[in-house]
Each structure stands twice: as structure tokens, then as C-alpha cells.
Copies of this chain bind each other. A is one copy, B any other.
Amino acid sequence: MSDHPVKISIQQEQFDIQAETEFLVKKSPNAGALVSFSGICRADDTLSALELEHYPGMAESQIQKIVDEALAKWPIQGALVIHRVGKIAVGETIVLVAVTSAHRHAAFDGANFIMDFLKSRAPFWKKEYLAEGGEGSWVDAKESDEDALSRWDQNADRTNS
């Protein structure tokens, strides 16, 4: 899949959606569609921040595997996944998934698919920090996230293994 621009980054630093996606678009000259998803640490009465832990090495390779599945399944030109780790304050972006394609529906489906699998198949874990100070608990996996994978039919199994 070397002819597809793909960037995967696991980083602590915040980033600029415009700069990151502009780069992806430049490397996908035939793409008329760019779909991006941002996962944001949302405001909550009790929450001040999340801390993201990951499994170095496996996180990158799992994301690459998910992106490869998307590239195989849709006519996607390029893909970008930036997943932050460490302390992330309320309002900050945790993850960015962006996909370019000639076709807007392929771009929507590809980004949607990558996000669904990132949620439950990429080795990241979230711990809550409380507004009143101190650590809260680890965020539990949601059944709805697991269920979402079955929307993608046979691909759910392939990426699972």
C-alpha cells in the first residue's frame, strides 16, 4: 500500500487540524473529499482531565493494521491517525482520524471504520482526573463500542485477530 500517503503518530503534543490535514490533501492530489474525526475530552461536572496510557509498539502496529483494512475496503487515497497520550485537559483533542478519497462516501465510511476499530482494538486506556483534585477511575470500555464493530461485517473478525 506504499502508494497511499499514510501517517500514524502517537504523541503527547497538541496539533493543528488545518496543518495536518493540509499535508494529507497535498499528498492526495486526486482527492476531492477529506473527512476528519476529532475525539475531544468533553466537559463533565466532575472531570478535569484524562490521562491516556498506551502499549508502545502494539499501538502503532494495530493502527497500521486498521488503516490497511480501510485501504483494502474502500477507494481511499490517504489516511492520517494522530492519537495523543499523557494528560489531556477538558476541551483538548485526544485523537484525529482523517481520510482522503475521490468519493465522499468512501471518505466518510473509511474514517468511521477506523474510529470504530480504534475505540476497541487499539491498546489505549483512559484514566479520569477529578475536578475536585485527585485521580478518578479508569474509563470502562463501552458495550456499544464493541457492538459498533459488527456493523463492518467480516472485517470485524479480521481486525480482531
Contact A108 B37 (CB under 8 A): yes
Closest B-chain residue to A92, C-beta based? B25
Q: Count the copies.
A: 2
Q: Is the interface of A mostly helix, strand, loop or mixed?
A: mixed
A120 at the interface (CB under 8 A from B): no
Residues of B contacting A37 with CB < 8 Å?
33-35, 104, 107-108
Residues of B contacting A148 with CB < 8 Å?
105
Besides the contacts A35-B36, A37-B108, what 18 more A-B pairs have beta carbons closer than 8 Å?
A17-B21, A29-B42, A29-B43, A30-B42, A31-B42, A32-B40, A33-B40, A34-B37, A34-B38, A34-B40, A35-B38, A35-B111, A37-B104, A39-B104, A42-B102, A104-B115, A105-B112, A105-B148
Residues of B contacting A42 with CB < 8 Å?
29-32, 102
Pick from B36, B105, B112: contact of A36, CB under 8 Å: B36
Distance of A34 Cα from B38 Cα, bound (Å): 5
A154 at the interface (CB under 8 A from B): no
A1 at the interface (CB under 8 A from B): no
Q: Report the minimal beta-carbon distance from A89 to chain B, rounded to whole angstroms.
A: 13
A sample of 12 inter-chain contacts (CB < 8 A) reads A17-B17, A17-B21, A18-B18, A29-B42, A30-B42, A31-B40, A32-B42, A33-B38, A35-B37, A36-B38, A105-B148, A108-B111
Given contacts A21-B17, A108-B108, A148-B105, contact A91 B26 (CB under 8 A): yes
